[in-house]
Structure 1
Amino acid sequence: MINLTENAAAHIGNYLKNRGKGAGIRIGVKTSGCSGLAYVLEFVDDIDVHDVVFEHFGVKVFVDPKSLVYLDGLEMDYVKNGLNEGFEFNNPNKKGECGCGESFTV
């Protein structure tokens, strides 16, 4: 299961609306950084038949089965802290991360 907070869903929904197309957003992982894995976000225009789909607050989240192993239980939020804003990932599978927060291990 992948969860979006209401803030994350609203932010993604606004981007999809301004973009004028897209079925939702895809969350995945790729090999990167010093800890091993990094999150990947992209708009979904073409749905893959193997994708697992979750929907929260009217926004669809697509995840490929290989990434779901690392992301199951993930909560994605959109936060603003002073001048900084962005997505925050609360992943119960994460065992550690690099010092800069760029990548994580499971």
Structure 2
Amino acid sequence: MSNVSLTISAAERVQSLIAIEGKPNLMLRLAVSGGGCSGFQYGITLDDKVNDDDVVSEQHGVKLVVDETSMSFLDGTELDFVEDMMGASFQFRNPNATSTCGCGSSFSA
């Protein structure tokens, strides 16, 4: 079971992106990799494959896939989709991040 949660807003945005792609079997893949201005960076992709080390869950009609290594950095994280005057973006609320960069796409743990 995944300890990463999607808000309804994030799930609705992912569903619309999957609809645009026209491939209903796509899943949301979250990952963490080295890099970014704070040490680690988030990755968000649509994927149709599940690897041996993936943790898969379904939330609000979206299949969420996270590899075991990334899960250790994302445990307890909430992914939201926010639209405001500055634009629209996915936002990570990660309790494991000790600091984040200004753009919100990288963090340190």
TM-score normalised by length of structure 2:
0.90
Measured in 2, the distance between the counterparts of 1:101 and 1:58 equals: 26
State the identity as a percent: 39
**What does residue range 74-89 of structure 1 map to in structure 2 within 5 Å?**
74-89=77-92
Measured against aligned partners, the alpha-carbon deviations of 1:51-91 in whole angstroms (never above 9, x if no partner) come to 10121111011000000000011100000111411101100
CA RMSD of the aligned region, Å?
1.3
Counterpart-to-counterpart distance in 2, 1:85 and 1:92: 22
Tell me the number of residue pairs that the alignment of Structure 1 and Structure 2 aligns: 106
Task: Specify every segment of 5 or more residues in structure 1 that has no aligned partner in the other structure, as ranges.
Answer: none
| Length-normalised TM-score, structure 1 | 0.92
1:98 Cα offset (Å): 2.8
| Cα contact 2:91–2:104 (8 A) shared by 1 | no
Equivalent position of 2:17 in the other structure = 15
65, 69, 74: which one pairs with 2:72?
69
**Distance in 2, Cα, partners of 1:99 & 1:19:** 30
Structure 1 residues 99 and 18: CA distance shift in structure 2, 3 A: closer
After TM superposition, the runs of 4+ consecutive aligned structure 1 residues lying more than 2 A away are 98-102
AA in 2 matched with 1:15 = L
**Unaligned residue ranges in structure 2 (runs of 5+):** none
User: What letter is aligned with 1:70?
Assistant: F
| DSSP-derived class of the 1:33 partner | coil
